[in-house]
Homo-oligomer: A and B are copies of this chain.
Amino acid sequence: MSGESVSFNPAQLPWNQDGLLPVIAQQHTTGEVLMLAWMNAEALAETLQTGRVCYWSRSRQRLWRKGESSGQTQYLRALYLDCDRDAVLLQVDQIGPACHTGRRSCFYRQVTDDRVQVITEPVIAPEQLYAGSTDVRTTH
């Protein structure tokens, strides 16, 4: 259940008009989907090189080394491309909560029919998560 490995060139991926691809982060031990964020070619190359997950922050328009302000670092365990090579799946080891709200996963709102409900609570208060940081993140 494997093929020959071929050389990988991030520049050849079908980056969108903003030079980004969507990236799913999944906790490798539990399978929990933690977040969806974005990478450009530089963030992808840095992540593969360092083993510490680096995204592109669309709100801050700069590289975002996950955990740089919160301490909630993501360590890369495996990286996959999909069949069209236009989506990335990361299996990671997430230290603490992945979400800037202090929740383990960003996907804490469940939609049922015409209602939406918050189904998990923060494990760490956001003000504690970002204590001492002036960097307030808005969107991914």
Could you tell me the dominant secondary structure of chain A's interface residues? loop
Docked pose: A136 CA to B110 CA in angstroms:
33
Hey, which bits of chain A sit against chain B, CB under 8 A? 1-8, 22, 24, 26, 30-33, 35-36, 48, 78-87, 89, 99-101, 103, 106-121, 138-140
The 10 closest A-B pairs by CB, nearest first: A31-B31, A3-B118, A36-B87, A5-B117, A80-B107, A82-B106, A5-B115, A8-B116, A81-B109, A89-B107
Closest Cβ of chain B to A42, distance in Å, is 15
- A109 & B85 in contact (Cβ 8 Å cutoff): yes
Query: Quick one: which of B2, B5, B120 contacts A1, CB cutoff 8 A?
Result: B120
**Nearest-Cβ distance from residue A70 to partner chain B, whole angstroms:** 13
